[in-house]
Chain A
């Protein structure tokens, strides 16, 4: 009798542990993470070439469904995300950054800021992204990421109400060279911290 009770309890506990581990390994818990066989990382810009593809494993499928639903397959668009600056520090609303880069080997590109819930941050600044058509010199461009507009007429991505955030670099119709050898052919924008608000005790 006691063994039967233990077995039932073990079944329930096992099912719970299995479900929780699935959610964790798919990167759906707040702390992120997750498993992937197709991960690409170019200077901190991370992507997954199996997004939108039937070849994606179960973990990638679950993660993308949660954080990138209706994403395109890689021949149409690739999505790179980073949540840290080039010094490895988390991107946070209380700090200002400069993002700078060069020409991207794609038909069109953009950089967009998302909050910790993968949403556009809840502000009304109308400065959610920069893209190839508005950035000025596409060979050498930059933008300020800040919760306040820059003093000059620099390109601006607003981080107001974003808390801890990340950036997504979209390349639409990337070249075959980028897909074949991203480390050699992607021009990864640099994210440099300029300063942070002082916090009072």
Chain B
């Protein structure tokens, strides 16, 4: 009986460690894979890509809304912060920042009639100082995502024209 104690303890310890190690790693792994897929589809680092209208044939992430126009920037602030500028949109619209662990670090409204642009800087916690208008993330890579309500093909065309003016680029430190 005593001889079974060591294997039993080893089983329990390994199970516990693996359980929490896998849980901890999963979001980052899934986010990394999604970012790789987006890169492979042509999305550049530090630059917005205006996604085509979401259809079964164009979807690149799970559960996209076919009623929204998406613009996505894969930011990499390893060397310096990134500056985002985005025009406002008369219907629902938002800019959201996701870190490498999938947390929605920040979200701001882009709804409005006066055009904009709205600006936001993304900095690295521990390296860049917190300042008004700057959002800090823990890891240098992540995703900035703009959603604009565009439930028809015509609205999506208009949103895409506005989104073409969005920018996401490295800023001077």
A interface with B by C-beta (< 8 Å): 2-3, 6-19, 21-23, 25-26, 28, 52-54, 58-59, 61-62, 64-73, 75-76, 107-108, 110, 112, 114, 117-124, 126, 128-129, 131, 133-134, 161, 168, 170, 172-173
Contacts and interface: CB of A to CB of B under 8 A. Distances in A.
A14 B92 contact: no
A69 B61 contact: yes
Contact of A53 (B57, B104, B152): B104
Interface residues of B, number: 52
B10 A14 contact: yes
B64 A18 contact: no
Interface string B115-159: 000000000000000000000000000010100010110000000
A120 B8 contact: no
Contacts of B12: 14
B36 to A, nearest CB: 13
B80 interface: no
A76 B111 CA distance: 12
A179 B22 CA distance: 31
A112 B98 CA distance: 23
A29 to B, nearest CB: 13
Nearest to B59: A120
B27 interface: yes
A6 to B, nearest CB: 4
Nearest to A5: B7
A53 B31 CA distance: 15
16 contacts: A3-B6, A15-B18, A17-B11, A18-B15, A22-B26, A25-B23, A62-B26, A69-B34, A70-B102, A72-B107, A76-B96, A107-B92, A112-B66, A122-B56, A124-B56, A126-B55
A119 B20 contact: no
A16 B103 CA distance: 28
A67 B34 CA distance: 12
A18 B14 contact: yes
B18 A129 contact: no
A127 B108 CA distance: 30
